[in-house]
Amino acid sequence: MTDLLVRPTSESARQRLVKGALRSREIAVFVILVALIAVATVRSPNFLVGSDGWRDLLVTPSILLLLAIGQTVVIITRNVDLSVGSTVGLTAYLVGRLFVDQPGIPIVVVALIGMLFGAALGLVNGVLVAFGRVPALVVTLGTMYIYRGVFLEWAGSDRINAGDMPSGFLRLGTEQFLTIPVLTLVALVMLVIVGYCLRSLRWGRELYAIGSDPAAARLYGLPVTRRVLGAFVICGALAGLAGVFYAARYGTVSSGAGRNLELEAVAAAVIGGVAIFGGSGTVWGAAIGAFLLVTIDRVLPILGIPDFWQRAVVGGLIIGAVALDRVLSLRRERQLRQARDDARSGS
């Protein structure tokens, strides 16, 4: 009567790996990305080859990369953070202010302050969501308005110009280490750290469990409130770092800084295979999604598609991605059903 049970897979570890790879969303998106870059390079060689091209290819996505990582951590817990764009703007301005008001303040300190500040903003969201038991979408929509308003009110009309920030800091925006831009390196380090935590640390797995079934997580005795809070803090901290990046890369911080990045971050995660209702998806996927989104924006003009159509393409891509997910999961369900049948007829 054990035939009610699912038989163990007869696959070897390698077979499993290969199969997994073929099925994995990360790989699929990555392939698209590579293809895109290839086409663009054929069309105009220095898109990839020119040292500028190479650098920009890597450095331009770094800001969205950070945001996508943070957004993923939050989405995995079945929440969302719409305030990251405003957080970027606010932190970027704070960074500029620091340099203006505290001349000679070490860059590392500024970066840390930026992250801490972002984390604090994230904490506000987290407290409201985890303790206030109010939906994240609404809360972060509200804080999105609030943070940006505070930013613009505080900044008033004096914006930060390249001249206001030490050249050492600005050089960060372009400096390269083994041809890899520093900002990209930092972002990738963050990616690896978060990716590692989500995969290999208990609290990381607990985030997945919480998003997978919050009720069960509570019944199981997981520290749901604390974990959700933590997720928002991480998201905020990464957004804060993104703000630092913004100041370093663009050299000026004006009213528009970081506007509308929030939806892009969510889109990147979704394209990267992160389920909007939590429980599944990886930061790796989200990262590739971010690279893809940014690269598309840069490639389409090269392919002769005017600026204006870019968003249309991106939108189509997002819809395609979620639709694909749905199709695949339906396929899997059917296979599982079949498996149950086979198990039964096996007796």
Site for other proteins in 6-45 (CB under 8 A): 6-9, 16, 44-45
Q: Are 268 and 289 in contact (CB under 8 A)?
A: yes
> How far is residue 115's CA from residue 107's CA, in Å, rounded to a whole number?
12
Q: Are 245 and 183 in contact (CB under 8 A)?
A: yes
> How far is residue 230's CA from residue 233's CA, in Å, rounded to a whole number?
5
Among residues 1, 22, 108, 178, which is the contact residue for other proteins, using CB under 8 A?
1
Three-state SS letters, 109-120: HHHHHHHHHHHH
Residue carrying the six token digits 């840069």 = 298
Q: Looking at beta carbons only, is 109 or 332 nearer to other proteins?
A: 332
Told to check if 314 binds other proteins by CB under 8 A, we report yes
Tell me which residue of 224, 246, 237, 236 sits closest to 173, measured CA to CA. 246
Question: Three-class SS of residue 177?
Answer: strand
The first and second tokens of residue 130, run together, are 């985890």
In the chain, beta strands by DSSP E = 176-177, 180-181
Q: Are 313 and 305 in contact (CB under 8 A)?
A: yes
Q: Looking at beta carbons only, is 287 or 321 nearer to other proteins?
A: 321
Among residues 130, 186, 270, 288, which is the contact residue for other proteins, using CB under 8 A?
270
Of the candidate spans 23-31, 50-58, 97-105, 185-193, the one that interacts with other proteins by CB under 8 A turns out to be: 50-58
Q: Which residues pair with 285 in a beta bridge?
A: none
Of the candidate spans 65-73, 105-113, 233-241, 329-337, the one that interacts with other proteins by CB under 8 A turns out to be: 329-337
- Give the total of residues touching other proteins (CB under 8 A): 122
Contacts with other proteins in 194-233 (CB under 8 A)? 199-202, 205-206, 208-209, 211-213, 215-217, 219-223
Q: Are 254 and 93 in contact (CB under 8 A)?
A: no
Among residues 132, 189, 192, 331, which is the contact residue for other proteins, using CB under 8 A?
132
Q: Looking at beta carbons only, is 34 or 109 nearer to other proteins?
A: 34
Min dist CB 77 to other proteins, Å, is 12
Among residues 31, 50, 189, 192, which is the contact residue for other proteins, using CB under 8 A?
50
Contacts with other proteins in 94-113 (CB under 8 A)? none
The first and second tokens of residue 53, run together, are 């091209």
Q: Looking at beta carbons only, is 27 or 212 nearer to other proteins?
A: 212
Q: Are 94 and 114 in contact (CB under 8 A)?
A: yes
Contacts with other proteins in 139-198 (CB under 8 A)? 139, 141-146, 148-153, 155-159, 161-163, 171, 173-174
Contacts with other proteins in 231-260 (CB under 8 A)? 246, 249-257, 259-260
Min dist CB 98 to other proteins, Å, is 19
